[in-house]
């Protein structure tokens, strides 16, 4: 047996069998988005319009249908079935719509999705599938493979891990330099099989061959390079750069950790931005919560408890606000979800002390703390949070860490210093203006 092969991991698989009960009437399915998306794939025509067909005794224009449902995903838990025909997306009628139109509506729905669907019996589903293949007007390709996007996936390393007494190899998958997940060779095989079943018209590259004997280190590295080439290039057309494939729930489920067992495979490096605009990397377990990540940062920087209590970890939001990360949230999940941003990281250290008198007292005894508040003030002046007005030129002249005491004395007297702006949001989430 191969040194790092194993049985299939069902945590990220699609449904292999359907429940026998199906609701043949129009009904709504409410789906709450999970970490790996809504958990289903849509398939159907790529051009608009088309002839009406009978579905459960009613006539409908061509409908997009659910082609795959991720096992244990959000859609499966909501009751969505493979084969369900989609009539409305969040109240918008999609009869006769193209695949792209329906997918765009789903993506724009935020974290909550309402689908109006009609479920089919196995015999009705077989009849429609047969009719589609025999219809000369039916599109031979149910997906538009022409739209591209950048998905910079690499596999820079592999490692041996031991779980439940079993020792095996996992390959570390990165995106834009950030660790996403660690996968066994068998999971790449599973991905390959699911993609080929879903995107039947697409010509996928071959996986590196499976070897019947244990692999040595140099052979494992050769396999690593082969798997990286499989994801990166994919022969004449890199499938990771094809938008419909890259954004499919099959691909997203593969790239995201699927359970706590997988999260224990390896430690990860997370970059955190400091107030002086430098960043520092901390090595933590992938499933570490914010409290543990912040403790690792405190240890890495040699901060005292008193100093660390003055700050907290925030997530940078595109709208110009920073959101305080809750104690039980997993910063690594936020970190990898922002791989497309231009910033080196979306995690940042900001003030969590708003008592200016106490701040001055602490700064008089701790030079490191003094430096931190100086750089925070510089950032707030530059962003406009501190309203410098006619004092701006004077502050610019003092903008040197050696003159931090003078700079802070002037900044503390200005409107906006150590103040927060709370943005109205649906849930009780604190957003602090930059």
The answer to whether residues 268 and 260 touch, using CB atoms and an 8 Å cutoff, is no
Average pLDDT over residues 366-383: 92
pLDDT of 310 over the 90 cut: yes
Q: What is the pLDDT of residue 21?
A: 56
In a domain, 334, yes or no: yes
Q: What is the mean pLDDT of the chain?
A: 80
Same domain, 232 and 124: no
Angle between helices 367-383 and 356-363 (to 10 degrees): 130
Residue 260 burial by CB count (10 A; 0-12/13-18/19+): exposed, middle or buried?
A: exposed
In a domain, 5, yes or no: no
Same domain, 341 and 390: no
Length of the chain: 434
The answer to whether residues 113 and 106 touch, using CB atoms and an 8 Å cutoff, is yes
**Cβ within 8 Å of residue 378, ≥6 positions away:** 399, 407
Angle at alpha carbon of residue 183, lines to 177 and 185, rounded to 5°: 125
Q: What is the pLDDT of residue 433?
A: 53
CATH of the domain at 184: 3.30.1520.10
Q: In whole angstroms, give the CA distance from residue 245 to residue 74.
A: 19
29: Cα within 13 Å, side-chain hemisphere: 30
pLDDT of 183 over the 50 cut: yes
pLDDT of 341 over the 80 cut: no
Domain extent for 275: 266-353+422-433
Same domain, 322 and 428: yes
Each residue's pLDDT tens digit, 107-146: 888 889 999 999 887 766 666 665 554 443 444 456 777 7
Angle at alpha carbon of residue 288, lines to 283 and 292, rounded to 5°: 80
Q: In whole angstroms, give the CA distance from residue 303 to residue 92.
A: 54
pLDDT of 56 over the 50 cut: yes
The answer to whether residues 16 and 48 touch, using CB atoms and an 8 Å cutoff, is no
Given the structure tokens 């159907």, which residue do they identify? 44
Whether the model clears a pTM of 0.85, i.e. scores above it, the answer is no
In a domain, 139, yes or no: no
Give the Cβ contact number of residue 294 at 10 Å: 22
Provide the domain count of the chain.
4
Q: In whole angstroms, give the CA distance from residue 28 to residue 214.
A: 51
Each residue's pLDDT tens digit, 212-252: 788 889 999 999 999 998 887 644 456 777 878 887 878 87
In a domain, 141, yes or no: no
Torsion of CA 360, 361, 365, 370, to 10 degrees: -20
Same domain, 202 and 337: no
């Amino acid at each position: 047996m191969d040194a790092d092969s194993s049985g299939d991991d069902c945590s990220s698989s699609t449904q292999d069998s359907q429940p026998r009960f199906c609701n043949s009437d129009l009904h709504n399915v409410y789906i709450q988005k999970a970490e790996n998306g809504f958990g289903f794939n849509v398939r159907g025509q790529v051009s608009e319009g088309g002839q009406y067909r009978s579905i459960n005794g009613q006539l409908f224009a061509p409908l997009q249908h659910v082609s795959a449902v991720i096992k244990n995903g959000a859609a499966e838990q909501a009751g969505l079935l493979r084969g369900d025909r989609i009539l409305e997306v969040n109240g918008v009628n999609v009869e006769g719509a193209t695949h792209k139109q329906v997918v765009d509506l789903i993506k724009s729905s935020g974290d909550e999705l309402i689908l109006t669907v009609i479920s089919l019996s196995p015999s009705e589903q077989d009849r429609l599938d047969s009719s589609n293949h025999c219809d000369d007007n039916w599109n031979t390709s149910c997906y538009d493979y022409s739209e591209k996007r950048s998905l910079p996936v690499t596999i820079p390393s592999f490692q041996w891990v031991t779980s439940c007494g079993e020792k095996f190899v996992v390959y570390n998958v990165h995106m834009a330099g950030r660790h996403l997940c660690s996968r066994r060779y068998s999971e790449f095989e599973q991905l390959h099989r699911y993609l080929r079943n879903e995107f039947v018209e697409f010509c996928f590259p071959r996986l590196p061959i499976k070897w019947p004997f244990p692999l040595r280190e140099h052979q494992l590295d050769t396999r690593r390079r082969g798997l990286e080439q499989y994801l990166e290039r994919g022969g004449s057309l890199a499938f990771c750069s094809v938008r419909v494939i890259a954004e499919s729930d099959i691909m997203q489920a593969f790239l995201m950790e699927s359970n706590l067992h997988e999260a224990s495979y390896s430690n990860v490096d997370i970059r955190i931005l400091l107030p002086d605009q430098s960043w520092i990397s901390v090595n933590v377990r992938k499933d570490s919560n914010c409290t543990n990540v912040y403790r690792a940062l405190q240890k890495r920087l040699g901060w005292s408890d008193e100093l660390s209590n003055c700050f907290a970890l925030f997530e940078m939001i595109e709208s110009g606000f920073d959101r305080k990360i809750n104690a039980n949230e997993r910063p690594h999940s936020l970190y990898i979800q922002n791989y497309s941003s231009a910033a080196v990281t979306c995690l940042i250290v900001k003030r969590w002390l708003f008592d200016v008198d106490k701040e001055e007292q602490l700064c008089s005894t701790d030079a490191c703390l003094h430096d931190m508040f100086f750089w925070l003030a510089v950032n707030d002046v530059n962003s406009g949070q501190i309203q410098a007005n006619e004092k701006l030129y004077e502050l610019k002249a003092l903008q040197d860490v050696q003159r931090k005491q003078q700079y802070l004395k002037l900044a503390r007297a200005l409107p906006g210093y150590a103040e927060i702006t709370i943005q109205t949001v649906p849930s009780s989430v604190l957003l602090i203006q930059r």
